[in-house]
Amino acid sequence: MAAASKAVTRDVERLRDQIRYHEHRYYVLDDPEVSDAEFDRLMNELKRLEAAHPELVTPDSPTRRVGGKPREGFTKVRHSSPMLSLDNAYNEDELRAWEKRVRELAGRDGLEYVCELKLDGMSLALTYENGALLRGVTRGDGSIGEEVTANVRTVRSVPLSLSAATLKKARLPEKFEVRGEIIMPIKAFERMNEDRERQNLSKFANPRNAAAGAVRVLDPNITALRRLDFYAYFLLVNGRVAGQEHWEDLEQLAAAGFKVNPRRRLAKNFDEILEFIREWEAKRESLPYEIDGIVVKVNRVALWPELGFTGKAPRWAIAYKYAARSGMTTVEDIRVQVGRTGKLTPVAWLAPVPIGGTTVSRATLHNMDEIERLGVEIGDRVVVERGGDVIPKVVRVESKGRSRRRFEMPSRCPECGGHVVRVEGESDHRCVNANCPAKLRESILHFASRGVMNIEGMGDALVNQLAERGLVKNVADIYRLDKAKLLTLERMGEKSAQNVLDEIEASKKLPLDRVIYGLGIRFVGERTAELLAEHFGSIKALMEAKQEELEEVPEVGPRVSAAIREFFGEARNVKLVEALQEAGLRMRGEKKQRGTKLAGKTFVLTGTLERHTRDEARKLIEDAGGKVSGSVSKKTDYVIAGSEAGSKLDKARELGVAVIGEKEMEEMLG
Ligand code: IVH
């Protein structure tokens, strides 16, 4: 490869600066200047140049956020100074008592307080050296946390590096630490749970658990899919809070390019603190993320050591906690809802109760196991909680109803009368009728949803009517709709009908992986659909693939391959695909040209490789026709071990599997 000319080096640097600027506008300031397409164009251009000139790649390049290698565990790291927790105040009196004590201990009145939203996430410490992100560490027990740098790098609002000019402008030394909260916005949380539901995975209870889970997964590629966000609230230099005033520190962090919550206030007295608390209590529901209260901090940092601690929490700050969003009500009935896969979900019908600004009259009970765990029966008084999830849930029985009645799962589907079965070892009951109208409705909603075929306007109201009137009997029928048919529906005018038709038309241009995803094959989520499309290059090849061939696709195991075979084993589904093809949907994609050098060979990667990330190595192997598996077994041909290889190496030795290094891998690739 020719050494990069000066001009290319300049181009690469200029592109990186542009991308960093736009990332900051978009992810930190929520105020983008260019379209997504323009942003993608810049990013692709940079990727192209870096691919042509690998010697120009630097670890802080915007292209390097994702693509770290899965790890086998996390390293424990001691914090530069303990990450403290906060004492709570649950009402105005407790808050007033805290503020009075602060004034007494400080020996004066007229103090200023910084009010911030208390984001419900997980606190995190970021260390920067030479202006570049060196380490991200979880709070852990406050003294020692876990190093999760590769995962944190995928969070777009975390700057990977700060230029010398930025450091200067923000008056920052080259070494500093930023502490703040990592969160999952509610939208991202809902999308993630929808996705998990489609893949038959268990859902996360709330955005905080989901964020904490995403920060602590071993594979950074998974964190990257989770759309986490990071809000900074402390600046430390040499393990100590940096400035004179906390408010100024926040402004300094913002000037350095960190995301600092703009919803903050410098309160001049107690009443202004209360005002801020009341204001956000009322507007809490409109925030894009969950908060559980307000943090109040004494602005003057010099007072902090004087104020001292109560146990583990500092006296200079307090968390005012909003009342949990729960309420008490009566279960009037328990009814069953049928989902796309035929799953029957018991739902509690409640006497309407206001919780956190909305009226709740339904709560999910998930399945029979959950009903038994709660011991809930019709007529009971229950506590209902609303988390970030749209669907409220029953958390416990408060008191048993006088004339309570047990709920039993029906043996016939309430929608179609089909047989209901509970598969051995599963907690779910399912309707087995393939033509159950509820399944039809749900499968159309899935197909049309955002992230799948993205047919805007095709929501509950429209789909219900289309299904009820028999206008749509399967997803291919969507493409047989015309204006005359649509105009027979309620609340459908000329203009909305045209909009729907335009949306349907536009969906035909979506790539093959969306079509595969849209079919609603069990266990085939967004990512699996992508891998399948890439591997087979056409729906025809996918339909004809034998189980062993399917399992050559990364991440496809026996469970998924069996589900795919089962799906295409049904004549009905084959017909459906044909109809979609006729309608003009994309049935071909770009097949990745794979070599044959490593065909039939299975590799396992372990430890840290020197010249490639694990992801790169995996791609190289797969492009040469090899397969990469996550665990060592008798079927493994080679284990490629880097430094600090752990249990997989031991397993390979135990089973007598060949162990090679990165060099030998490269030689095999030629
Ligand atoms: S200050 C001593 N500020 O709340 C300082 N914490 O209950 C402690 N949190 O562990 C942190 N938003 O995870 C601070 N604006 C904010 C916060 C915040 C959320 C979380 C943080 C902390 C917990 C304390």
Question: Which of 265, 295, 304, 310 is the best mutation target for the ligand 1 pocket, counting ligand atoms within 8 Å of the beta carbon and taking the most?
Answer: 295
Spatial separation of the C-alpha atoms in residues 669 and 664, rounded to whole Å: 9
- Ligand 1 contact via 295 beta carbon (within 6 Å): yes
- Whether residue 72 is predicted with pLDDT greater than 80 in this model: the reply is no
Which residues, in sequence order, are bridge partners of residue 318?
A: 296
Give 389 Cα–ligand 1 centroid separation in angstroms. Answer: 22
**Three-class SS of residue 92?**
helix
Poorest-pLDDT segment among 16-20, 72-76, 321-325: 321-325
Q: Which ranges in 481-636 belong to alpha helices (H)?
A: 483-487, 494-507, 512-518, 526-536, 539-544, 547-550, 558-568, 571-583, 614-623
Q: Tell me, yes or no, if 509 is annotated catalytic.
A: no
Torsion region of 498: left, alpha or beta (phi above 0 gives left; psi -120 to 50 gives alpha) = alpha
* Short-list 391, 465, 477, 441, CA closest to 186: 391
Q: Which ranges in 383-493 belong to alpha helices (H)?
A: 437-448, 460-468, 483-487
Which residues, in sequence order, are bridge partners of residue 538?
A: 588
- Ligand 1 contact via 180 beta carbon (within 6 Å): no
Residue tagged active-site, from 69, 76, 118, 321: 118
* Short-list 527, 532, 539, CA closest to 586: 539
Nearest CA to ligand 1 atom 18: 118
- Whether residue 117 is predicted with pLDDT greater than 90 in this model: the reply is yes
Spatial separation of the C-alpha atoms in residues 452 and 478, rounded to whole Å: 14
pLDDT for res 450: 83
Instruction: Find the mean pLDDT for residues 75-85.
Output: 93
Poorest-pLDDT segment among 63-67, 201-205, 359-363, 572-576: 201-205
Other CB atoms closer than 10 Å to residue 2's CB: what's the count?
A: 7
Residues of the chain above pLDDT 90, percent: 60
Spatial separation of the C-alpha atoms in residues 351 and 329, rounded to whole Å: 6
Higher pLDDT, 40 or 336: 336
- Whether residue 519 is predicted with pLDDT greater than 50 in this model: the reply is yes
pLDDT single digits (tens) 541-584: 999 999 999 998 877 888 899 999 999 998 989 999 999 999 99
Q: What is the DSSP-derived secondary structure letter of residue 596?
A: S
Asked whether the beta carbons of 208 and 122 are under 8 A apart, the reply is: yes
DSSP line for 380-392 = -EEEEE--SSSS-
Kindly list the distances between the CA atom of residue 481 and the CA atoms of 159, 435, 476, 488, in Å, as whole numbers in the listed order.
Answer: 48, 20, 10, 11
Torsion, CA 15, CA 17, CA 23, CA 26, rounded to 10: -100
Of the pLDDT bands very low, low, confident and very high (cuts 50, 70, 90), residue 390 is low
Spatial separation of the C-alpha atoms in residues 504 and 446, rounded to whole Å: 14
pLDDT single digits (tens) 126-135: 999 999 999 9
Kindly list the distances between the CA atom of residue 369 and the CA atoms of 166, 173, 393, 563, in Å, as whole numbers in the listed order.
Answer: 56, 56, 14, 25
List all residues 6 or more positions away from 90 whose beta carbon is below 8 Å from its beta carbon: 321
Spatial separation of the C-alpha atoms in residues 371 and 71, rounded to whole Å: 38
- Greatest Cα-to-Cα distance within the chain, rounded to the nearest angstrom: 84
Spatial separation of the C-alpha atoms in residues 167 and 159, rounded to whole Å: 12
- Ligand 1 contact via 388 beta carbon (within 6 Å): no
pLDDT for res 594: 57
Nearest CA to ligand 1 atom 6: 118
Give 123 Cα–ligand 1 centroid separation in angstroms. Answer: 7
Spatial separation of the C-alpha atoms in residues 375 and 373, rounded to whole Å: 6
- Ligand 1 contact via 293 beta carbon (within 6 Å): no
Measure the N-to-C terminal CA separation of the chain; round to a whole number of Å.
Answer: 16
- Whether residue 1 is predicted with pLDDT greater than 50 in this model: the reply is no
**Three-class SS of residue 15?**
helix
Asked whether the beta carbons of 118 and 292 are under 8 A apart, the reply is: yes
Helix axes 437-448, 460-468, angle to 10 degrees: 140
pLDDT for res 623: 76
pLDDT for res 549: 93
The two tokens of residue 157 are: 């609002």
How high does pLDDT run on average in the chain?
Answer: 90
Count of CA atoms in the C-beta half-sphere (13 A) of 480: 14
Spatial separation of the C-alpha atoms in residues 659 and 593, rounded to whole Å: 28
Instruction: Find the mean pLDDT for residues 478-502.
Output: 93
Atom of ligand 1 nearest to the CA of 123: 13
Nearest CA to ligand 1 atom 16: 118
Residues of the chain above pLDDT 70, percent: 97
Spatial separation of the C-alpha atoms in residues 565 and 544, rounded to whole Å: 9
Strands of the sheet with 113-119, listed across from one edge = 88-89, 317-321, 291-298, 113-119, 264-267
- Whether residue 339 is predicted with pLDDT greater than 70 in this model: the reply is yes
Poorest-pLDDT segment among 400-404, 590-594, 612-616: 590-594
Question: Which of 79, 81, 83, 85 is the best mutation target for the ligand 1 pocket, counting ligand atoms within 8 Å of the beta carbon and taking the most?
Answer: 85
Give 319 Cα–ligand 1 centroid separation in angstroms. Answer: 8
Torsion region of 14: left, alpha or beta (phi above 0 gives left; psi -120 to 50 gives alpha) = alpha
